[in-house]
Amino acid sequence: MKKKKRSINTTPRRLLKWCLSAIALVVVVILLYCGYLSIQIEERFSGRRWSIPSKVFSDTTILYPGQKTNRTLFNEKLRRLGYREVAHKPVNKGELNTRPSLIELYLHDFNDPSRHREGIPIQIKFAENQIESITDLNSGQPLLILELEPEEVMLFYGPNRERRQLVSINQIPQHLITAVLAIEDRRFYTHMGLDPKGMIRAMYANLRQASIRQGGSTITQQLAKNYFLTPKRTIIRKIKELFMSLIIELMYEKNEILEIYLNEIYLGQKASEAITGFGEASYFYFGKPVNELSLVEAATLAGLIRGPNLYSPYINIDRCKKRRNIVLNAMYEMEGITEEELKMALPLPVEAIGYASYGKKAPYFMDYLSDQLNLLYSHQDLSSLGLSIYTTLDTQVQLAAERALKKGLTLLEKSTPGLDRTDPQKKMQGAVIVMQPKTGYVLAMVGGRDYSLSQYNRITQAQRQPGSAFKPFVYLSGLDKFTPASILSNESKTYEIDGKEWTPHNYSLMIEERVRLRDALAASINLATVDLAMQVGIDHILRTAGIFGFSTPLKPYPSIALGAFEVIPLELARAYCPFAADGVLPYPLALKQVLDEDGSIMEQRHMSIKQVTTPEKAFIMSSLLKSVVENGTASSLKKMGITFPVAGKTGTTNDYRDAWFVGYTPDILALIWVGFDDGASIYASGATAALPIWADLMNALPQYVSGYWFKMPQGVVQLDVCSESGLLAVKGACPFPIKEYFLADHVPEAECRVHTGENQIERIFDGVKDFIKSF
Amino acid sequence: MGLKILSRAFKYFIIFCILAFHMGFWGCAPAYLSPSPPTQPPETPQVEIFGETDETPEEAPEKPSPRALAALQLTEQGRMFLEKNQPDDAIGILERALNLNPGNGRNYYYLAEAWLMKGNIGQAMEFNRLAEVYLKDDSEWLHRVIGQRGRIKAHEQ
């Protein structure tokens, strides 16, 4: 009995003890769990909250009165810069009104580390394809120069491919905050992370509408879900979400939580890129910074939270408008807007800016740039630190180059059916690089026909024989001994190389046995060039090539004179720059500046130059290469609409494997290469295959054509010489005197002897002899 | 008969002289084939003064072209950055000015100044040399360029 009594007395006590122990254990576990979660949250929020992809920008665009423009490319540029066409006079930043002879646009703000330009309304008047005037519409003052902001060209994504522009709570307009709270969490500022009232209200509303109209999750819960949890719906996840919400509320201020939420929330999709946060969404849907959003625009964005792709104005404008109006009504219900504001806003249409889902822009240029960036930053840093990377790229030039190449190759394939291969991987290829010769800025780079099919960059990675495009370096090497008027032999000769005989041939049959140096280069005469090379010395030519930056191995064979060795096209283009830049070789510059998230400079690069020849020799080379275009192998340029002075050189290799043209003016230099990757013949010369592409490119870029030519340096003189002897012309004696440029310290001193003096008597005797012989 | 022969010989001699003279003076028929004569007027050098081209250096246009004016705006911005001791910003702007108007020697002068400020003597010297090329005709600026060279050399030492 006693035993039984004891057991009756001890069981409840034990049970109580057990229960208390269990409760204490659960509390300890919960506390430990909360501690664990708070550490997780602390870690996540105290460090870097988001990975922001680094952005690559093009160079700025300079406009000035009197500048010629390609209206098509210019208008495309404005669209890509985010200017949106409106039917009225632009009143907000980013608005554009285009008319046939003028455009009015409200400029975006423009910031770089050293300058800030507030957006202003401007008017650009055109007279045909030339800018007539630029006017600041605020002050009515004419502008002598206008710089358009750089264009975003690429983002370095992390694995999530998210686009995000961070905004602080202070930048976010009150009507956007009201709209978000009205539709997502009305009691945000009063609850502790959980809102039972809100949950009941949402359940009631959803039951009444027989559909899910409202969610019960608070903003803090949504944040916890987005930030830490998987989308999988389980009870454990829900419990974790509740704990996390409470901890977040305990650890952070309300405004801090709201700011994180507004930057974190997913708001749509641009092709494969996720639009996250209101900062990015504001640009994506309305082309403006978040602080410039109107009431209806803010309500539209707030409405997207529930279903970004369901309510996207790009998917269903009516559904988007209905959702927006629900938000507006919710704002009115919580007294965030007045009745008058509601009535004005409800009928307004949803006007999204629209976007072009474009492919990768300037992909070969970007690869070239990435190679340089990867030496400075890891991929992890590039995809997370939100760097701003400024480049020398001109997107108008890039587009013109891509189009010219595509058109040129297609035309060539049509004109020569054997060239049109069906296998896309084996199709004929081409490459273009455009540089500014004085500074080395790389304006555009097209490394192949189609980046999606081949990422092999034929400008930076290929090694091809330049053929006659190398000849200018032979002629430059000869300028110490020879002059443009010197006479070279055009007779066929056989040379011995490593015990083997080599007999060069001309591209076409020529009867002249002697040619002037200028004509030999203009007509690209092989025999005369080899004659020159042998007299100058192959070693001297190799030294010149080295000084001009060719890095590929060159062997001391006479065939070097004809470009029978491989070069990297980028190096060939660069090597021509000194001719257009007073003898100065620039470093090819693609990367200009890297800024961190706060706009501080992390890396800065400038043009870098070194003198490789004298301004005088550079001028003479330009003059010689101008003859190539005026009456040599590139003379067909005139028929292709190129009426301004150009210097350049064609190149064709054995069996027509490569076709080249490198052409330049004082303002711009472009190299074109056409060929097959497998070295098959394209059955066309540089003048037939590459030259039309160059002409097409330049015709599309009137803004880079000044029509100017190089100023003659003081160390160059111009003299009359006999076209036959290359010596000083004797007035009245030499039948075809010509004006020729000479280095001032290397002028012909002797007068023509062919038409004067002893030669004259010899000729008389010769004439007598011939006469007698005729009998 | 003799007179007739003499007369005929004289006639042939005259013809021979004319032909010989003609062949010797005008024929210029060389033993080799000559280069083709120029097919167009000889090249006349063009000059660029403040961005304008002209046939003769003496007749420089007084009014700068809009392009040159635009470039001058950038040059001025670059100069102001130099005054504020911001050589990197100055170089960025001056490079753009150079692209717009490669013939303005002052850009090279200021670029040399900026590189000198940055302590890069090699680049300062290169730009100083180019400034001289373009400012040779401007005695006032040439004086500055020479002075600048002296400063660069002094810095080098």
* pLDDT above 50 (res A768): yes
pLDDT at A723: 83
For chain A, what percent of residues have pLDDT higher than 70? 93
Q: At what angle do helices A71-80 and A395-415 cross, to 10 degrees?
A: 130
Residue A43 to chain B, least CA–CA distance (Å): 39
The one catalytic residue in A54, A58, A468, A627 is A468
- When mean pLDDT is compared across A24-38, A204-218, A440-454, A731-745, the lowest value belongs to A204-218
**Strand arrangement, sheet containing A266-270:** A162-164, A273-276, A266-270
Cross-chain CB nearest to A606 (options B46, B65, B91): B91
Residue A213: pLDDT band with limits 50, 70, 90: low
pLDDT at B58: 37
Pairing of strands A102-106, A121-127: antiparallel
Selected residues 707-746 of chain A with any CB under 8 Å from a CB in chain B: 707-714, 718, 723-724, 735-736, 738-741
The CA–CA distances, whole Å, from B71 to A244, B51, B67, B99, B142 equal: 59, 9, 6, 9, 20
Q: Could B35 and A514 be called an inter-chain contact, meaning their C-beta atoms sit closer than 8 Å?
A: yes
| ipTM, 2 dp | 0.78
- When mean pLDDT is compared across A349-358, A633-642, A735-744, A764-773, the lowest value belongs to A764-773
Residue A566 to chain B, least CA–CA distance (Å): 31
* pLDDT above 70 (res B23): no
A104 belongs to the catalytic site: no
A484-506 average pLDDT score: 87
pLDDT tens-place string over residues A11-47: 888 888 888 889 999 899 888 888 888 888 887 776 6
Q: Alpha-carbon distance A689 to A673, whole Å? A: 9
* pLDDT above 90 (res B146): yes
Mean predicted lDDT score pLDDT of chain A: 89
B88-93 average pLDDT score: 93
A501 belongs to the catalytic site: no
Q: Could B103 and A606 be called an inter-chain contact, meaning their C-beta atoms sit closer than 8 Å?
A: no
CA A217 to chain centre: 44
A537 shares contact with chain B (CB less than 8 Å): no
* pLDDT above 70 (res A249): yes
pLDDT at B37: 36
B129 shares contact with chain A (CB less than 8 Å): yes
Give A705's contacts in chain B (Cβ within 8 Å): none
Contact (CB, 8 A) for A528 and A504:
no
The one catalytic residue in A95, A104, A149, A184 is A184
Joined together, the tokens standing for residue B41 give 């007027």
Q: Could B133 and A723 be called an inter-chain contact, meaning their C-beta atoms sit closer than 8 Å?
A: no
Mutation target to probe the A interface, by most A beta carbons within 10 A, among B76, B99, B111 is: B99
pLDDT tens-place string over residues A278-330: 999 998 898 888 998 999 999 999 999 989 989 999 889 999 999 999 999 99
Contact (CB, 8 A) for A638 and A472:
no
Give B133's contacts in chain A (Cβ within 8 Å): 582, 615, 713
Which residue type does A633 have?
T
* Burial class, A232, CB count within 10 angstroms (exposed 0-12 / middle 13-18 / buried 19+): exposed
Contact (CB, 8 A) for A606 and B92:
yes
Give B81's contacts in chain A (Cβ within 8 Å): 114
pLDDT at A104: 96
pLDDT at A351: 86
* pLDDT above 50 (res B50): no
Q: Could A584 and B130 be called an inter-chain contact, meaning their C-beta atoms sit closer than 8 Å?
A: yes
